Chain A
Amino acid sequence: MPLEQVQRYLTAYLRNPEFRRRVRGGMREQAEREMCLDTADTDLVRKISLDDLDRAAGGLRDERQTKREAEFKQFTDNLACFGPVSNFFEEFDAEYPEGLLSRPLEMDRFLDFSTKFVLNHGLPDYLLDLLRFCYYYVKVSDMPRDRSTAVLEELPPGGLQPHHRLRLRRPYRVVAFRYDVLWLAQSPPSPGLAMTPPNPTELLIQKNWARFKQTVALRTSELPFYRGLADGPASIIDLISMGSPADYSWAVAHLQELFQRGVLEVPLDG
């Protein structure tokens, strides 16, 4: 179908900078032949102003950049300390001139491209931690809430009891970083951050059930009972039994607080 070829041609022109350069640079007929345009198709596409198409391509690329900047804000803000981000995005856009533009696909492409960019340009490696932090933060926020089992919706009148089994609310990911990436993400972007010494940190990145498309990121080192929960549900008494009985009240209060914040839940599956 001729229209199909016309649409392929327009799509290639809008998405592919190299294709645009060839059309503009004297190889228009070759590009039209590649797209199998017949005479009528060629007549049609040649009526379309190339200046208009160039403007459209630029606008669509800017929109793509805006979306990726929103998803990877801490990474791109810090990347900007080491060079023009616009150049970076031009290269990213040129690297992926095909394919659908759904968020999952684009985020994977962005992760791949950015990793290679940081390494190939010899940029500070803390940028890789920020990149991964942004990636997991958004990925987890997009995941569906796990409602596969019934859970206790509210605290019982007497609060949580020793027999109550707790588990981490899903979905979540536990990710190890070379740096204290939470501190990096919250620091104003600066080339000076490149001097930050490594500080291996493990984060629990968990979907926030109360907020649309948001995630909670907690240092597992600040969750005293994380190790007891890492392998699955555990009762309160099992979680706190390794500690001193003197700490029992504090421990229950801490776990109860995590329950009320939505970090933990009590499954009702026996």
Chain B
Amino acid sequence: MTNTNTATTVPEPKHQFGAGYLYHYHPSYQDYAPRLAEAGGRVDIYEVLGVQFNSEPDAIETFAASLEKPVTLHSFEYCLGNVQRPPEKVTGRIQELARRSKAAYIGEHLAMMGTRDTYCGGFFQPPGTDEQTRVIIDNVKAAKNNSVCPVIVENPSQFYNEVGGRTIGRQMKEVAEAADVGILLSLSNITISERFRPQDREAFLAEIPLQRVRQLHALCGNQAEERMQGMEQSRREQEWIISMLQQLARSPALQPAAVIFELEAGTPSMAEPERLRDFMDMARDLYFRDGKQRAA
């Protein structure tokens, strides 16, 4: 029986891919991949950053093909939180990259980027007002309705005290449901909030409709560096990330399409290949083993 209730409908992509990592188009990642393979690392899906191919879009085609696995494209240039829309050539370029890479989906930031002519410098937390939320919903719908693949929206870090009547979590929920899109739940971005305005993590996560989460983002830092003096915060955040992955997996509503690890977000150096291997295996065991998979 078809479930037409958008509050409980699982948005696209419905296919489950598995575990993977953010593969930067950079020589260090080019060197890392064979080391990961040698360590026995198994990747089900890769995330790639669209902006790294803006100057050479043809490269994404050969790069994606060389990975021999599905790809999810990450972007920020839709500027979903902005009132002023980016030029069509910018969104056209994102779509071209998605087409060339045969991206399974596009992950976009639910963030204010600035104005059409001036970027604010980061993926900034939008105010929680009615008007801002409507703008985001309209922008997401427009992006989704003109996309070669599904669009999912990522939670921003918290930069300032929540104003406008909505929390970040509530705004995410309203946008995802009104636009009927999936959510990219970034546990990494929650930890980044610590540098600016520490987030009430439990309260935020409690507001996220887990059945809409299509992708989980998580840090995978360098274990040796985490053990160094002065890196206690990084170690604690990594422990929190693992704990949350385990805790969230207990919710039957949460059946993500992919769990993606980021290798440099928590420590200066990339994670050891063995660690990434183990984290991906853990994610598969938590979210993609037979008993956990969604019925066809």
Contacts and interface: CB of A to CB of B under 8 A. Distances in A.
Interface string B16-56: 00000000011101100000000000000000000110111
A21 interface: no
**Chain B: interface size category:** 35 or more
A99 B117 contact: yes
A161 interface: no
A211 B160 contact: no
B206 interface: no
B120 A10 contact: yes
Contacts of B195: 55, 59
A63 interface: yes
Contacts of A198: none
B121 A7 contact: no
B58 interface: yes
A11 B59 contact: no
B4 interface: no
Given A59-B195, A212-B26, A11 B120 contact: yes
Interface in A18-70: 44, 47-49, 52-53, 55-57, 59-61, 63-64
B56 A60 contact: no
- A contact face: mostly helix, strand, loop, or mixed: helix
A44 B127 contact: yes
A213 to B, nearest CB: 6
A56 B129 contact: no
Nearest to B28: A212
Interface bin, chain A? 35 or more
A52 B197 contact: yes
Given A52-B197, A56-B196, A144 B122 contact: no
B172 to A, nearest CB: 18
B115 interface: yes
A144 B132 contact: no
A101 interface: yes
A142 interface: yes
Given A1-B83, A101-B119, A145 B58 contact: yes
Given A1-B83, A2-B131, A3-B129, A52 B160 contact: yes
A147 B61 CA distance: 14
B269 interface: no
B231 interface: no
Contact of B121 (A3, A52, A60, A213): A60
A3 B83 CA distance: 7
B55 A104 contact: yes
Nearest to B24: A212
Contact of B25 (A48, A147, A212): A212
Contacts of B58: 144-145, 147
Interface string B112-149: 10110111111010010101100100000000000000
B54 A7 contact: no
* Interface-central residue, A2, A212, A213, by most chain B CB under 10 Å: A212
B246 interface: no
Contacts of A57: 121
B244 interface: no
A2 B131 CA distance: 9
A14 B124 CA distance: 10
B112 A10 contact: yes
A63 B55 contact: no
19 contacts: A1-B131, A2-B131, A14-B121, A14-B122, A14-B124, A15-B121, A44-B164, A49-B160, A49-B161, A55-B159, A55-B196, A59-B196, A60-B120, A60-B122, A63-B122, A100-B117, A103-B55, A142-B55, A143-B56
Given A55-B196, A56-B159, A145-B56, 5 more contacts: A48-B160, A55-B197, A61-B121, A145-B59, A214-B27
